[in-house]
Structure 1
Amino acid sequence: MMQGALSSQAAQGNHVVTVKPHSLFDDVYGIAVGILFVVMGVLLLQAAGLITGGVAGISLLVSYTMDLSVGVLFMLINLPFFLFGYLFMGARFTVKSLIGSVAIMLLLKLMPGGLVIGHVHPMVAALGGGTFCGMGILALARHGAGVGGTGIVTLWLQKKYGINAGRTQVAIDAVILLVALSIVQPDLVGWSSLSAIAMSSMVMAWHRPGRYFGN
């Protein structure tokens, strides 16, 4: 996941595959795609009054109780986690994640001017929004970045101790959803649980050692 030497070798069956690190264009394009996926996922969830896991879910949850936009809350909640990322994941990872989070904040403020979701069924929002967010997180992680917040912690735990990021995210999301019961209607929390499962399943299935060759 992280940028390393100029080239590395990965065993694939009985063959040795030489793998080159991502180029600058690869990183820029991959991170941009990840940002767009996350924003689309959050907008779908917001249109149905749902939340999801991670910092996106916390931002949505708080936005339902305060007169602050999801984008601003997303950035504010992320700030202490960026310090953690700088200390334990390195400056490169933190800078990429910070740029990604700023871009997400701006797009969440600008996108409603170009995309208005009139109606979306909670099941569609849960599955679509959760999957979009999960794909976005995965794309960012593949290019050495994160969406901030709890994602930085889960990626660090996987990098440091080999603990699957998806499983850790499920545990964190369960706590977020329990808190949501005091703010959001129980049926919407149920649909939100589906979105959190969809999001974490993407990370759990695809972000693990041996699944992907590349830096």
Structure 2
Amino acid sequence: MSTCTEIPAAVPATHGERPTAAPAVPRSAVRHSALEDVLGILTGTFAASLGLFLLKSSGAVTGGTAGLALLVSYSVALPFGVIFFAVNLPFFALAVWKKGWNFALRTGAAIALVSVMASLHPAALGTLHIDPVYGVLGGNLLAGVGLLILFRHQSSLGGFNIMALLLQEKLGWRAGYVQMVLDVAIVLVSLALVPPLMVLLSAAGATLLNLVLALNHRPGRYLGM
């Protein structure tokens, strides 16, 4: 992928002054190709779904619709992928309304892929018994990287992702910080089903996930579309 940079033209000098160069023009944004978008969404959904698998294997929770789906999966005898897909359905309409069909369809595809991959990981890796600290921190780190990739390919995993992106675009609030507040609130609600120590660990994990987004997904920093 290449970008073209315009060479600044010299500003004519007035009498007695030396000529100066005009300010450099920022590099123009380069759109992702269709193949790059497909590979990016596949990579992002794989990383996010693997992170959610680690979280579920460690008995932890997280924020957003993924956190809601994890909480429901602990008390309802349904596969996580089915619950995750169902929880996100209401947010699809919000994506269409506020972000347009392109973003909504990409988000719908990402949600469907995570729902499918959520069933593939247990089949490939079996039942895991992992250290909770490793599962929570590693799972949230993977989920955060996956979401970052999806955001940069005009997609998301629905739910709070959409709300956070909208608030960043409309009000300039960083998506990572907005989602951090919402996610920690969901984690605290999980006190009804999850031991307090695991809730505290899960809150730390949710903070880590959103720090990944806040530090790497900032307006004007990434120009690819």
TM over 0.5: yes
Which deviates more from structure 2 when the two are superposed, residues 205-214 or residues 122-131? Answer: 205-214
| Secondary structure of the corresponding residue to residue 20 of structure 1 | coil
TM-score normalised by the chain length of structure 1: 0.91
TM-score normalised by the chain length of structure 2: 0.87
Runs of 4 or more off by more than 3 Å in structure 1?
7-10, 13-16
Post-superposition offset of 1:8? 9.6
Cα distance in 1 for residues equivalent to 2:198 and 2:136: 10
| Secondary structure of the corresponding residue to residue 39 of structure 1 | helix
Aligned partner of 2:136: which letter?
A
Post-superposition offset of 1:99? 0.6
Aligned partner of 2:114: which letter?
I
Unaligned residue ranges in structure 2 (runs of 5+): 7-22
What are the residue-to-residue correspondences of 1:110-125 with 2, within 5 Å? 110-125=120-135
Post-superposition offset of 1:116? 2.2
| Equivalent residue, structure 2, for 1:209 | 219
Q: Which structure's CA Rg is the greater one?
A: 2
| Secondary structure of the corresponding residue to residue 156 of structure 2 | coil
Whether the aligned pair in 1 keeps the contact of 2:143 and 2:209 (CA below 8 Å) is yes
Post-superposition offset of 1:213? 2.0
| Secondary structure of the corresponding residue to residue 89 of structure 1 | helix
What are the residue-to-residue correspondences of 1:1-215 with 2, within 5 Å? 14=24, 16-215=26-225
Unaligned residue ranges in structure 1 (runs of 5+): 1-6
Aligned partner of 2:41: which letter?
I
CA-atom RMSD, angstroms? 1.8
Post-superposition offset of 1:112? 1.0
| Secondary structure of the corresponding residue to residue 208 of structure 1 | coil
